[in-house]
Amino acid sequence: MDNAAKGKHKLVDVGSEDEDEVDVLDRRDNTYEIDEDEGHESQGLLEGEIKTGSKRVRQSTLKASTSNIKLQSGSSPIDGSGSKSRTIPLPGSSPRHKTPPRRQLFPPNVVKNSKYNIITFLPLVLYEQFKFFFNLYFLLVALSQLVPALRIGFLITYILPLAFVLFVTLSKEAADDYTRHARDRAANSQLYTILDPLSSFLPDPADTHSIGNDDETDPVSPSHRMHPLPPIKPVPASKLKVGDLVMLSQNERVPADLVLLQTSDESGTCFVRTDQLDGETDWKLKVATERTQRMRAAELLAIRGHLWAEAPKKDIHDFKGSLILQGESTRLDILIDEACSPKKADDLTVPLNVENILWANTVLAAGTAIGLIVYTGKETRAVMNTSHPQTKVGLLDHEINSLAKILCAVTFALSLLLVALNGFRGWWYVYVFRFLILFSSIIPISLRVNLDMGKTVYASQIQRDPEIPETIVRTSTLPEELGRIEYLLSDKTGTLTQNEMDLKKLHMGTMSYGHDSMDEVTYQLSVAFGAGDLGNTGHGRKTSLTTGFALASRGRRDMSSRVKDVVLALALCHNVTPVKNDDGTAIYQASSPDEVAIVKWTESVGLRLVHRDRVTIKLEAPNKSLLCFEVLEIFPFTSESKRMGIVVRDLSSGEIMFYQKGADVVMAKIVQYNDWLEEECGNMAREGLRTLVMARKKLNEETWREFQRQYQAAKISLQDRNEVMAEVVRSHLERDLELLGVTGVEDKLQEDVKMTLELLRNAGIKVWMLTGDKIETATCIAISTKLVARNQYIHQVAKLRSSAEARDMLEFLQTKPDCCLVIDGESLQLCLQHFSTTFISITTQLPCVVACRCSPTQKADIALLIRSHTKKRVCCIGDGGNDVSMIQAADVGIGIVGKEGKQASLAADFSINQFSFLTKLLVWHGRNSYKRSAKLAQFVIHRGLIISIIQCTFSMIFYFSPIAIYQGWLMICFPTVYTMAPVFSLVMDTDINEDLALLYPELYKELTKGRSLSYKTFFRWTMVSVYQGGLIMILSLLLFQTDFINIVSISFTALILNELIMVALEVTTWHTYMVISELVSITIYAASIFLLPEYFDLNFVLTVDFVWKVALIVSVSAAPLWVYKLAKARWAPASYTKLRDH
């Protein structure tokens, strides 16, 4: 027995009335399962006869149904979701009476982007907060104050700051998740129309007159298909199940992955917008199966058979399935299409591919459509390509957390040392804990409060910047990360480009037309079609009746006819469809913006596309005549073939012509020998143009019939179908094609993209471009944006099939460290599977990497791999729904509000309007945020250290007693009322002005090294704190020996003044807020001396002796640091200082 048939097969319910023989399920449960052993019993069940009451399903019929299942199951192993391939019964195969569902086989169709629920909210948020040592330390200190023996000072001193921080965090998380829940509820409650098989209006399958009829007197027009109206029912999106028939209207979001059965367009086609799935703004053409398209909508409920679909997977560019129609039950009198493969006249197997399926989260652009749900919920392509958001924590926060651990160890060591010096007397272990609490200010909780307030200020400054209007900070905890970016991963379409195409050049060997000479093409085309026979053509020329026959007789074709040939080829060889708007105007829609640009160009020169369906193309010539062509066959573009072809018959002459267009690397091997194609394509590529080679071949009737016979046979091949079809095309059509010309299409870039990328490279940021587009397109954009330097070697990698090929490629890259790598998604996946570490280690050293045909998940994987391997900061920027996973996987995600909607913007940490805003966001705001927070964090730690050193010195002098020198209001007011405003003024400091930061982006490189906050700077601040704290305490005792009782007021006054002077020394540029905060703080402290008599003796404080001695202590404490700062600025200035003073 075939291995693919082992395990379990999901079989269609054949409508048995004998439930002892066949277990009947409700259709809403989709399928039932039959366990299958390796023996012959189950095989006999699959291939033998199944009794169904008064009916029998013939052995051949079931064989035809199951043979395809077994074959394709074998080629489609479990992928991604852990699910297997499935067989879904069609509506007419289910019983009309509803039976209780046995179990749910497929996931519910529920959208879930929220992170918490009522039960998990508090535990998860608290875990996220207290998994950091910094917060856990404060929690333990606060809890220790509940023990009377350990209580020191006011309990509120320890509880209130921590409670405030937690309240702010909980409130923010609750608000954010409530918004996510609201969006989820809106999406899940959106109503969709389904065809309800349980309705009493269900047509009788036995009534052959009520089902599709191809009689010429009863034409199947769109209006006929909609009447009589099918039984319908509104159902919320969350209640949709596999097997449901969903009716979609224009501009309606597709709720699940559907196989398209019918559209309102007579040709069976419809357009969908996929910008939120693959990032492309162009409409994609989808095709309904021909057999179901001919039916009326109500008749879809009566068809019998089943649909086989492969296992869920992430690839949005591929789908394999089969639609098996049991003709004996439907009795449709429609001719069997040669493209289908029936085993019997009453049993039809229709192959399905990606053109027949609508992915979830796409939008129906026009008309109405009916589809059968095959994947729901987490098994849809959209969900499988979306990663769940994680809470992001900045590198600065991690660095501060590491310093907090060091400070905690220092605190414990210091406490143990004091107890040891005292000889471990008495309850020494209680004294250890009391010392730990006394020194707890070494790790001040005010640090967390100050940093969070600083982040809020940075976010406000970013959002109020007039030069980057409408910029939104959605994650206020990450502004400092903007100053540490080393890798930028960017989407292409809509991010670097506007996705607006313009044909700039047409080259035909001996003739070349640029953008400014297209009027010459218009003139030549009008001459070729005889539009200029009346005299003036509108170009200021007189026409000639000698259009080239004389030249043709000498073996040469005239210029006009050559122009006509290439323009006609461009007007026919495409998949563009003109769509009429409500106001009567027509727009062009296609799966590629290149094709739309070319068709618009042919219209501008005089050859307009007026009608297109699956079988006909109509063009309006310059002389207003109508050219009609029958579409005989289309060979769509694929990333493998890199070309697109079409066979048409001119209905006026009967001439059959094969047109083909494609990439130069492919077409050069197909067209006749020439000496200019390669050179001209290279010239256009260097200009950043996307090249397209046009060729044709004339076919006679005999050749066409022979090709058609072999091609139809290849279509129904069950093994290697695509390869067999491609071989037939190569052998019959793609030989010695006549080369017509080459076009150069420009993809318009976003404003200031070239300048922005150059500035970011100068800032030391390595830029990767990740796109779902073709290799050729991505390479052109990389060149036109100057992402690739002039004369830089571009190494293209595509279609790697084995790990050996991937290894060889990586070995080659090691010898080309200065090249630009361009790699497709398939090869990228192979490298990531087998050599992920080697691949990332090599590619992260390259100056530029372009990854093409990337799925959303691959983009996210690359971001995560770079983060984990390099430990550097990664920024991802994009504008489409397909970029959300990448944005959420990055350290910093930036979304652009553009043509592809706001999905990326809403999921990002920062939202901007255009790519060029990135310059100021990183180089200016990123720089300020990082340097200010680094300085603020170290100063707050210094403020906690210095008061702890004073406490330590006091305890050592007074017999190692664990008694607080400063208690009550002094400890509460020191980090808040007395020093908070001046210290917080550091968040307004600037080391250089904005113009210098943008003029010298090289200064950004220094930030990525993390020197503003490092172990070196931390050690320097620790030494300053030890020096100043110890000096203040010792000098206070030496100078005031007779006034020992006033030691608190003496040392505390010196401490306050010292901190205010230190702020003035640390601020690079004095500003208004700093000066005012200093004056206000000293005023408040002076007033508090009168308000707190329990700490200050006014008779002592108001003496001259107190004033000059305090001034001396402060001078000795702060003056050496001022001298050091002047000396460093004179002999070892920072690089930015040299530029600022120049």
DSSP 44-86: HHHHS-EEETTEEE-HHHHHHHHHHHHHHHHHS---SSS---E
Q: Among residues 191, 194, 186, which one has the least CA distance to residue 241?
A: 194
Catalytic residue check, 664: no
Q: Considering 29, 196, 347, 491, which one is annotated as catalytic?
A: 491
Q: Among residues 360, 414, 366, 405, which one has the least CA distance to residue 386?
A: 360
Which helix or strand (DSSP H or E) is residue 893 part of?
A: strand 892-896
Which residue reads 């318009």 in tokens? 748
CA 1005 – CA 1116 distance, rounded (Å) = 37
| Cβ neighbours, 10 Å, residue 474 | 16
Find the Cα–Cα–Cα–Cα dihedral 165, 168, 170, 176, rounded to 10°.
Answer: -140
436: left (phi over 0), alpha (psi -120 to 50) or beta: alpha
Q: Among residues 1087, 1046, 1068, which one has the least CA distance to residue 1141?
A: 1068
- 525-540 b/e (C-beta count within 10 Å ≥ 16 → b): bbbbbbbbeeeebeee
Which residues pair with residue 1111 across a beta bridge?
Answer: none
Q: What sign does the dihedral 349-353-356-360 (CA atoms) show? A: positive
In order of 219, 944, 1021, the CA distances from 941 in angstroms are 84, 5, 8
CA 895 – CA 912 distance, rounded (Å) = 6
- Three-state secondary structure readout of 485-502: EEEEEECCECCCEEEEEE
Q: 825-843 and 803-814 are packed helices; what angle lies between their axes, rounded to 10 degrees? A: 40
Q: 59-75 and 40-47 are packed helices; what angle lies between their axes, rounded to 10 degrees? A: 120
Spatial contact of 440 and 150, defined as CB atoms under 8 Å apart: no
**Helix, strand, coil distribution of the chain in percent, nearest 5:** 50, 20, 35
CA 375 – CA 80 distance, rounded (Å) = 13
Which residue reads 């040891």 in tokens? 420
Length of the chain: 1142
Spatial contact of 693 and 661, defined as CB atoms under 8 Å apart: yes
Q: Retrieve residue 14's tokens.
A: 């054949």
Which residue reads 């052959």 in tokens? 208
- 1040-1050 b/e (C-beta count within 10 Å ≥ 16 → b): beebeebbbbb
- By DSSP bridging, strand 257-263 and strand 32-36 are unpaired
Spatial contact of 571 and 743, defined as CB atoms under 8 Å apart: no
CA 172 – CA 167 distance, rounded (Å) = 9
CA 976 – CA 1088 distance, rounded (Å) = 13
Which one-letter DSSP state was computed for residue 926?
A: I
Which residues belong to the active site? 491
